[in-house]
């Protein structure tokens, strides 16, 4: 097993759990009838935590998939096209 195979699964599970827990926390803080300023601050903090979870595991996955899905012959052109589109749109 390579290093990426060993580390990717726990990282994706951890980041998915962080995202799920932060979404449940935001739902819990946002559903009461009376919403205080502390609850609003908590939702913003959980949104930052959700962003951390996404950036830690799922955001880099697009580069991994674009490198592994195409055939070897199309890999260079596919990745070059995707990177160009990413630069143009960003």
Its pTM surpasses 0.75? no
Residues in the chain, overall count: 90
Contact between 11 and 55 under an 8 Å Cβ cutoff? The reply is: no
Do 18 and 58 form a contact (C-beta atoms < 8 A)?
A: no
* Residues 53-78 pLDDT 10s: 999 888 877 777 766 776 777 777 87
Check residue 36 and report its DSSP letter.
-
Q: Using one digit for the tens of pLDDT, what is the confidence trace for 26-61?
A: 999 988 889 899 999 999 999 999 999 999 888 877
Specify burial of residue 15 (Cβ count, 10 A radius: 0-12, 13-18, 19+). Answer: buried
C-alpha closest to that of 58 among 19, 25, 26 = 19
């Amino acid at each position: 097993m390579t290093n990426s195979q060993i580390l990717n699964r726990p990282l994706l599970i951890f980041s998915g759990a962080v995202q799920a827990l932060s979404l449940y926390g935001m739902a819990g803080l946002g559903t009461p009838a009376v919403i205080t300023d502390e609850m609003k601050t908590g939702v913003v903090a959980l949104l930052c935590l959700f962003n951390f979870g996404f950036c830690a595991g799922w955001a880099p996955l697009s580069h991994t998939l674009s490198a592994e899905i195409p055939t070897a012959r199309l890999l260079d052109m596919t990745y070059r096209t995707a990177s160009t589109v990413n630069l143009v749109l960003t």
